[in-house]
Every structure is written in C-alpha cells, then in structure tokens.
Amino acid sequence: MKRSMLWMIPITALIGFLPLPHAAVSAQDAQHDSHHGDWSNDDDKDWRDNDKAPVSVTVSFGAGLNTALMGPNPANDHILPQKIEVKAGGVVNFVVAGFHQPFVYHPGIKPQDVLDNAPAFDPANDPQSFYINYGLRPQDDPTILLYVGANPGAGLPQPPFPPPNALTPPPPFPILSNTFNRVESVVFPEKGKYLVICNVTPHFLGGMWAWVKVSK
C-alpha cells in the first residue's frame, strides 16, 4: 500500500506532460490555445522610462511550487511579469518553479520565429519533442541564443518523468541545479529587447514567454 502511494506522486507530475488523444499536433495548430493571442506581439506599450530601469530584477519562471506538480498546469506555466526591464549590465534572476527550462534569445528573435521552428509535440513517438531547442539544433544558428537554462530532465527517473534534453550543452562547471526549485541569474550586457521562453514545448505553446527590455 505504501509503495503504491509513493508512486502516485511522480505519476501525477507526469500527467501535465502527457498529450491528450490525438495531441500530436503541429506548433501552428496549437497557436490558438495561447493566452497571448498575437505571436508577433513585441510592442513597446506600457514600458517605463529607460532611466528608471533597475539593475537587478526577480522574475517568477513558473508561478509557484504549489501549482507545479499537478497537471495540466495552466496556473504554473507562465512568466511573471511578462514585460521585464533592466539596465544594461544588470541581472534578471529567474526563479524557476516546476519542470521548466529558460531560453533567452538575442534581440531580433520573436515568438513567431520560435513557433515556426517548434516540433510537433508527440512524446510517445519522439521523447525529445518535449523540447523546442530552437538555436541548439544542427540546422540552427547558435548565435541567436544568449542563454540556455539548466537541463530540467537530468537526474530524474524515466519513466515517469520526461527524459533529459539531449541538446542542452553541459555547463562549464557543475553549478547548475536540475531540481524543480532553483534560481538562474542572467546578465544582460547590451541594450535591446530579448525574448525569454520556456523551452518545454507544451509550455511555450501555452504562452510561456516574456520580453526583457534592456536600457543603457
């Protein structure tokens, strides 16, 4: 009895990743499910003046561990706030809560670019479709990426959890955590507007992305 109850925890965590029947859909077909609507949205409305931008910002990358294990996870799978401002040379501290992987793109990359390159989410036949990996694949330009987050699947039992991201480069030092509760701090050295996404395919398709505007 005790053993069966212990297995319920990781199995429940997996529910949020499993596709519904006929869920092997293209990224474009899933576009309408996003609560952001316009994937080309990169307007400059509601930004503060540049001289008021902070040098350090804390951002919720997954809205709390209390929503992270029960799936589906619409309450967890988003970034708060969606518009982030920081001075050049400043740091954004991404507080990761849940099975997430932050990717930060250099200025010029938009959500539509990522959407156009996202795989069909079909984990039953392609376990690596859990990850978008735009910028890491052999056919991509690796210079579009400013930052690749810690591998969210490394060290977790498979099954019931998704596998590690096979294309995540190993860190230069063993400092990156693979747990569901960690902080990943990213410095933004130059002015511009940077796209931040969750590299987990169903999370991004559900609208888990944000902008970082870096001022002088």
Q: For the segment 170-197, what is each residue's pLDDT rounded down to a tens digit?
A: 876 555 566 788 999 999 999 999 999 9
List the structure tokens of 84. 């982030």
For the chain, which domains are there? Answer: 2-18+28-215 (2.60.40.420)
Cis before 81 (ω within 30): yes
Count how many residues are written for the chain.
216
Torsion of CA 156, 161, 166, 167, to 10 degrees: -100
- Between these two residues, 5 and 193, which has the higher pLDDT value? 193
The pTM of this model reads 0.78
Provide the b/e sequence for 3-21 (b: ≥16 CB within 10 Å): eeeeeeeeeebbebbeeee
Backbone angles phi, psi at 121, to 5 degrees: -80, 100
What is the average pLDDT value for the chain, to the nearest integer? 80
Over residues 76-119, the pLDDT tens digits come to 999 999 999 999 999 999 999 999 999 999 999 999 999 999 99
Encoded tokens for 57: 């910002």
Confidence at residue 11, expressed as pLDDT on a 0 to 100 scale? 37
pLDDT of residue 173: 59
